[in-house]
A = this chain, B = another copy of it.
Amino acid sequence: MQRPDQPTLGVDLGGTKILAGVVSEDGAVLSSHRRETQADRGFNGVLNAVAEAVDACLQAHDAPRPDLLGIGVAGQVDDVTGTVRFAPNLDWHDEPLGTTLAERLGLDVVVVNDVRAASWGEWKHGAGRGVADLVVVFLGTGVGGGVVSGGALVEGCSNAAGELGHTMLVAGGRRCRCPNRGCLEAYVGGWAVAERAREAIAADPEAGAGLVERAGAADTVTGEHVTDGWRAGDPLATRIHEETVSYLAAGLVGIANAVNPCRIVLGGGVIESVPELVDAVRGALLDRPLAVVADALDVVRAALGSQAGVIGAASYARHRSDGTAGRDVRV
């Protein structure tokens, strides 16, 4: 049991970077540290890097010392044992992250999926505060999120709920990175926006000349080039951007009708760099759900930026360790 005045450690472990922070009970980051993951050094190497990041945070932080750490990992997590079942970006299979880290650091450790941690962070300390029925969507290269219902996070039968990027957008449509076609992510994920742009350029090289010039070559066009082109008034980039707004709005309408949230929080790297998407999506969305759903709904921008994962992992760990959670996840 954490004392109320005792901060908690939060770690956001991704395929390319590790963010660690000391987080107060009210979600403030008291000190933080960032380093490269270097996933190719394997489980023990990455664990060393996590431990170093945590040590760096603690050195920069005055007492009281935390004795609980939450770590969000980009992968499937067994939240009872703290084992990471599968983390493709780290090339991990069934790695006992929770127990190993707990032993190494002498802390209680709670392991959670990174997107779930960030969703939790936005709910408890960010743009979703005070709302019992919430949808959080993070748009980056991939698309993921979380659903809060009646004041509880929807976790799912195998702890995998929240894959909102793999809700349906166009049955039989674009191939996704998952086993299916037509997912929301296959239209609005960063990789998919780039793919749509390259296809549009191939279909009309003349219209695509501006984007090709930005990127150097047609096959190196990215979502960022589309954003830059849209800001500069490039017609093809504008069309692709507007289609992205429309796809995202359509997907969110369906999600809203299913779970009837009070609020949809939009975050992630794409929203950080194109915050205009929030107003555009709200405008495209709110007259399309069922009236009873639309009347209760707002769409807002995430508030915690790149710190959502660290704050969320710490806050989630505190929640799970306070004895009120359904499952015992301390290791």
Contact = CB atoms under 8 A, between A and B. Distances in A.
Nearest to A86: B292
A262 interface: yes
B152 A150 contact: yes
A164 interface: yes
Interface in A147-180: 147, 149-150, 152, 154-164, 166-173, 178-180
Q: Which of A251, A254, A288 has the most CB of B within 10 A?
A: A254
Contacts of A172: 246, 250
B166 A168 contact: no
Interface in A280-331: 287-297, 326
A182 interface: yes
A150 B155 contact: yes
A261 interface: yes
A12 interface: no
Chain A interface secondary structure, helix, strand, loop or mixed?
Answer: loop
Give how many copies assemble into the complex: 2
A258 interface: yes
Given A152-B149, A163-B257, A171-B250, A179 B326 contact: no
B147 A258 contact: yes
Nearest to A298: B157
B133 A157 contact: yes
Contacts of A297: 157
Interface string A244-259: 0011001101110111
A119 interface: no
A58 to B, nearest CB: 34
Contacts of A178: 257, 289-290
Given A167-B257, A182-B250, 17 more contacts: A131-B157, A133-B156, A150-B154, A160-B292, A163-B258, A164-B258, A167-B167, A167-B254, A167-B255, A168-B253, A168-B254, A178-B257, A179-B287, A180-B289, A183-B257, A254-B254, A259-B259
18 contacts: A132-B157, A133-B156, A149-B161, A154-B154, A154-B259, A156-B259, A158-B260, A160-B292, A160-B293, A161-B259, A166-B289, A166-B290, A168-B168, A171-B187, A178-B257, A179-B287, A179-B288, A179-B294
State the 10 A-B residue pairs at the shortest beta-carbon distance, nearest first: A156-B260, A168-B254, A157-B262, A166-B257, A171-B250, A158-B296, A161-B260, A167-B254, A133-B157, A163-B257
